[in-house]
Amino acid sequence: MKDSNNYLRQSFTVQFNYNVYFTEHLFYPSNPTFQDFINSQYEDVSKKILFVMDAGVVKHHTGLIAEVKRYFSNQNEVSLIEEPVVIPGGEQAKNNVKFFDEIINCVDKHKIDRHSYIAAIGGGSILDLVGYAAAVSHRGIRHIRIPTTVLSQNDSGVGVKNGINYFGKKNFLGTFAPPVAVFNDNIFLTTLSNDEWRSGISEAIKVALIKDPGFFVWLEENAASLANRNKASMQYLIKRCAELHLQHIAGKDPFETGSSRPLDFGHWSAHKLEQLSNFSIRHGEAVALGIALDTTYSYLSGRLAESAAIRIVALLKKLGFMVSHPLMEIKDEVSPVLAGLNEFREHLGGQLTIMLLTDIGKGEEVHEMQTSTLRSANDWIKQHS
């Protein structure tokens, strides 16, 4: 029998609140969205804001830095650090620790404290990197996210995860630290390449497949307009996808203390494929390939109707995604992409948990995958690609 006098027990709950704003021309003087947020955070202390920007965004939006400076010159609630940190976007931002060091050196140089803000403008990799730097500097500086890609506006930008790649492994270092606000400005999407535009749609397909069959039907019906860069269709997609991700985060395990990761449907192979390609394959493109593989495995393992698998693969192809790739080849137990299963298990904390489909909009978690079935899935996909 335990003696209750031998230990003290502590338990407490911390509530997190943040808004995801949908706007246009965030830093125009006529747009009060950002200013209203700053005003809502009023404290009787001096505050600063440091911007970290994706170099690609700065290149394509040539007036952005000047626009930000003008915006903050007309208000007194927060003091702008005049020169932003500009870092190359894409996975290289997370692969090279020198960019992390550059951010925390600026935190130290400009005396950015826990009452102040670090705002990131860029794609998912920049947001992940800056969020990690903000979370570990002074044990937590307030982080503002301004996503600039479809993928980051509908998925990573609205979530609670931050991280960088280390030991050649995706997100090996990271934190769970929610932002204080997210601002989705659709103007940033106008300069995306067609590949970048399409890439983010895969995460919408993913969340529809595990949570919302009606949204999947909408994606089927609007695939052509999405592929043709219809602005209204993309705005709906981003908002609905962000909404579904936020609903999931508000559930039982927002910081993923367990091994259940339903939002990572299609991701175990996608993460490994990115690494095998030296990150030349975009995350969204890799996720599309992973969705095709796990969908087909769901069918061949007797969980999902073949007609549903055909619909899913057809939608991916209609949107312009590859559904097979040489680096995804599964021929035997030592096929390189299969190492992603063990790495995924390790990342989850010990038990492998993979989401598979039992229907469009409905998933089932499994704890093992058979190489022979994966090999058959690989063959089936090639026949339908």
**Residue 186 identity (one-letter amino acid):** N
> Which CATH code fits 194-384?
1.20.1090.10
pLDDT at site 16: 86
Condensed to tens digits (0 to 9), the pLDDT of residues 296-325 reads: 999 999 999 999 999 999 999 999 999 999
Within 61-113, residue ranges assigned H as helices are 64-73, 92-95, 97-109
Please, what CATH class does the domain formed by 19-191 belong to?
A: alpha beta
- Return d(Cα 306, Cα 298) in angstroms, integer: 9
Q: Give the Å distances, CA to CA, from 27 to 70, 112, 151, 187.
A: 8, 22, 22, 11
- Burial class of residue 270, CB neighbours in 10 A (0-12, 13-18, 19+): buried
Instruction: Name the residue with tokens 């026949």.
Output: 383
Q: Is the pLDDT of residue 86 over 90?
A: yes
Q: Is the pLDDT of residue 72 over 80?
A: yes
Spatial CA neighbour of 119 closest among 41, 182, 31: 182
Q: Which residues pair with 163 in a beta bridge?
A: 174
- Return d(Cα 371, Cα 349) in angstroms, integer: 22
Condensed to tens digits (0 to 9), the pLDDT of residues 167-222 reads: 888 888 999 999 999 999 999 999 999 999 999 999 999 999 999 999 999 999 99
Domain ranges (residues) in the chain? 19-191, 194-384
DSSP 154-201: HTGGGSSEEEEEETTEEEEEEEE---SEEEEEGGGGGG--HHHHHHTH
Instruction: Name the residue with tokens 């870092």.
Output: 87
pLDDT at site 100: 96
161 neighbors 264 (Cβ within 8 angstroms): no
- Return d(Cα 99, Cα 130) in angstroms, integer: 9
Q: Is the pLDDT of residue 348 over 70?
A: no
pLDDT at site 350: 66
For 265-280, what is the mean pLDDT? Answer: 92
